[in-house]
Amino acid sequence: MAADSYDNAAQLQREVGRHLLRRIAAQGMSGRVLDLGCGTGFLTEGLAGQAGVHSRIALDLALPMLEQARYKLGNPLGLHYLCADAASLPFADASLDGVVSNLALQWCGALDTVLEGIWRALRPGGQLAFSTFGEGTLQELKQAWAAVDDHQHVNLFHGQQQLLSSVQAAGFAGIEVCSDRFMPAYGSVMALLNELKQLGAGTVVTGRRPNLTGKRRLQAMTNAYPVPSGGQVHASFHVITITANR
């Protein structure tokens, strides 16, 4: 995925990010705030409008994403860029006032480790706010592939109760959970698959069929995908937003 093409296919991320920024504002988050998995910097930029946020850290594992964020946002006072792994945060204990993340944590293979690291890096009273895909995401695509074979073609995401349990186990309190469903429209099934590829969401993490998908099987899946009378196809994205305190 090219970082400079990511924003063109990130309408959903921005919409969810705007919802998350409103939750962050309601929390009254302030101080030194980390944007974990910042991508090209949409949420990082939005944090500049939050009263009391005086220092922002944009962190991503992908250096090209950070470079694109820097190109867009520049180097204003109080904004820092860091290439690092979410599962091994390079911060001292109790050194952050807030941690936010928009549709990034679902790609972390060791979510419990990530949450424990966030708790460690937050000061007592520090705040966490993140959005992530839930288990109802891309259910139409899953059903269409299920009509073709019994292999896993779509990533599996955590359920709401599983996420809540992980946040609790990491030591957080004052946990609030919000669940939303987004249904963007696409001109075709291939347009949906292309967008997922651009966003880095087109590859199954585990359990994928080892050989490449053949054209016949891909066409069979496309034929099985539900298409309403309007001609456009829709895809479900189950988004879970969680806020909590250390």
C-alpha to C-alpha distance for 72 and 134, rounded to whole angstroms: 30
111, 171, 129, 71: CA torsion to nearest 10: -60
- At 1 the pLDDT is 45
**Per-residue pLDDT reduced to its tens digit, 120-141:** 999 999 999 999 999 999 999 9
- At 223 the pLDDT is 93
pLDDT confidence bin for 26, thresholds 50/70/90: very high
pLDDT confidence bin for 208, thresholds 50/70/90: very low
**Per-residue pLDDT reduced to its tens digit, 152-171:** 888 889 999 999 999 999 99
**184 C-beta neighbours (distance < 10 Å), count:** 15
- At 44 the pLDDT is 97
Specify the long-range contacts of residues 165-169, CB closer than 8 Å, at least 24 apart. Answer: 166/111, 166/112, 166/115, 167/115, 167/128, 167/242, 167/244, 169/112, 169/115
Longest dimension (CA), the chain: 56
Residue percentage of the chain with pLDDT more than 90:
73
The pairing of strands 122-133 and 79-83 is unpaired
Of 6-15, 56-65, 78-87, 209-218, the least confident: 209-218
- At 8 the pLDDT is 53
Arithmetic mean of pLDDT over the chain: 89
Decide if pLDDT at 209 tops 90. Answer: no
Decide if pLDDT at 4 tops 60. Answer: no
**Per-residue pLDDT reduced to its tens digit, 98-112:** 999 999 999 888 999
Q: What is the rounded radius of gyration, in angstroms, for the C-alpha atoms of the chain?
A: 19
**Tokens describing residue 140:** 């139409």
Residue percentage of the chain with pLDDT more than 70:
91
- Angle of CA points 187, 15, 164, to nearest 5°: 115
**Tokens describing residue 20:** 């998350």
- At 210 the pLDDT is 45
Decide if pLDDT at 198 tops 70. Answer: yes
pTM: 0.89
DSSP state of 88: S
E-state strands within 103-156:
122-133
- At 207 the pLDDT is 46
Q: CA quadruple 43, 44, 47, 53: dihedral positive or negative?
A: positive
**Average pLDDT over every residue of 212-238:** 85
